[in-house]
Amino acid sequence: MKGALVGCGFFAQNQLHAWSEIEGVEIVALCDRDEDRLTQTGEAFGIARRYTDAAQMLAEGGFDFVDIATTVGTHRPLVELAAQHDLHVICQKPFAPTLRDARAMAQAVEATGKTFAIHENFRWQSALRHVIEEVRSGVIGTPFFGRVSFRSGYDVFSGQPYLAEGERFIIEDLGIHILDVARALFGDVDRITATTRRINPAIRGEDVATMLLAHSGGASSVVDCSYATQRVLETFPETLLEIDGTGGTLTLDAGYRLRVHTAEGTTQTELDPPLLSWAERPWHNIQESVLIFQRDFIAALREGRAPETAAADNLKTFALVEAAYLSAREGRTIAPDTL
């Protein structure tokens, strides 16, 4: 199976490393408007076909899917262009500039009968995946409360300076992942209430967000995100969990330490992700999740099923992001289905 990648920036390097580890898959073409970055990436990964024009690359074809790893403003035209060429599509998050754009993109690919997935990798982090499977197995009964928390003082702007420039930041860039984890754990959301703050004066968007979710199945969850939290033990980039169920409790603490308490007793499991040959701490949990997500995408194509983070599903996560911003702006609870 052959693929092409559009965008050779900071995060795309992880995607290329991951593709190189998946048996039976080869990235045969690259596209980036920055010729120096394009050349460096092509040389590093041994990819000879290089383009500065995505339309030209897609027109010449010779691949089964396209992996779009660009910034959000380019997503809709690139996805619709890929749909015109009957390609399977992966698109980096956030899905699109607006919910209307996202729905149009999903419809464009759906009309071709091809598979469209959003590169939502947090639910594929091995520690979080383990917890998701534990909860789904019913080990702590039916969840009725959860907290999904990502709080850090890590300087994310040095590697991705554009994050400091947008009017929206933490919900759109990080909260979208944490909201998706909440959906994976507790199901779809009927209502969301959110507050936001900007603590760092050097950025334009919000760097703190707290969200209360009412899930369709009856659970409530708190999703909290911060890049303004100075911790004695820096936990970046870990997501911490607390889950109460009718049959027990579960916590995922700093250091990937899982504790499950039920009537039978308490168990503790160490879930520190493996350090892949091309990965580095502390990013290794995210880097591993890229590989796991991409493996699932290929498996979905081969098995004729929808990926777990198919565009149709991720629209619900994206709607939560939009609903959170609206809630924070207007000071009221929002039903995402009404957007």
Q: pLDDT by residue (tens digit) across 235-260?
A: 999 999 999 999 999 999 999 999 99
| Cα-based distances in Å from 31 to 2, 18, 61, 297 | 15, 18, 12, 21
C-alpha atoms less than 13 angstroms from C-alpha of 299 in its C-beta half-sphere: 10
User: pLDDT at residue 316 above 90?
Assistant: yes
Give me the percent of the chain exceeding a pLDDT of 90. Answer: 96
Domain with CATH 3.30.360.10 in the chain: 124-280+307-338
User: pLDDT at residue 19 above 90?
Assistant: yes
Q: Which CATH architecture has domain 124-280+307-338?
A: 2-Layer Sandwich (3.30)
Q: pLDDT by residue (tens digit) across 167-195?
A: 999 999 999 999 999 999 999 999 999 99
CB of 145 closer than 8 Å to CB of 244: yes
Among 164, 108, 130, smallest CA distance to 311 is for: 108
pLDDT reported for residue 159: 81
Residue 256 gets which letter from DSSP? Answer: T
Q: pLDDT by residue (tens digit) across 29-85?
A: 999 999 999 999 999 999 999 999 999 999 999 999 999 999 999 999 999 999 999
| Cα-based distances in Å from 108 to 61, 87, 332 | 19, 11, 33
Q: Which residues pair with 51 in a beta bridge?
A: 31
* 149 φ, ψ (degrees, to nearest 5): -130, 135
Residue 56 gets which letter from DSSP? Answer: H
User: pLDDT at residue 160 above 90?
Assistant: no
Give me the percent of the chain exceeding a pLDDT of 70. Answer: 100
CB of 109 closer than 8 Å to CB of 68: no
What would the CATH number be for the domain defined by 2-114? 3.40.50.720
Rounded Cα distance, 41 and 336, in Å: 40
Q: Which residues contact 317 (CB under 8 A, 6 or more apart)?
A: 120, 176, 179, 180, 183
Average pLDDT over residues 287-311: 97
CB of 226 closer than 8 Å to CB of 214: no
DSSP secondary structure string, 86-141?
Answer: T-EEEEESS--SSHHHHHHHHHHHHTTT--EEEE--GGGSHHHHHHHHHHHHTTT-
Q: What is the mean pLDDT of the chain?
A: 97
Among 281, 159, 168, 174, smallest CA distance to 227 is for: 174
**Helix, strand, coil percentages in the chain from 3-state DSSP, rounded to 5:** 40, 25, 35
Q: pLDDT by residue (tens digit) across 104-157?
A: 999 999 999 999 999 999 999 999 999 999 999 999 999 999 999 999 999 999
Rounded Cα distance, 102 and 84, in Å: 16
Domain with CATH 3.40.50.720 in the chain: 2-114
* 66 φ, ψ (degrees, to nearest 5): -125, 135
CB of 212 closer than 8 Å to CB of 192: yes
Average pLDDT over residues 194-206: 97
Judged on CB neighbours under 10 Å (0-12, 13-18, 19+), 105 is: buried
**Entry pTM:** 0.95
Rounded Cα distance, 300 and 45, in Å: 25
Q: How confident is the model at residue 162 (pLDDT cuts 50, 70, 90)?
A: confident
CB of 96 closer than 8 Å to CB of 72: yes
Q: Which residues pair with 334 in a beta bridge?
A: 192
CB of 105 closer than 8 Å to CB of 68: no
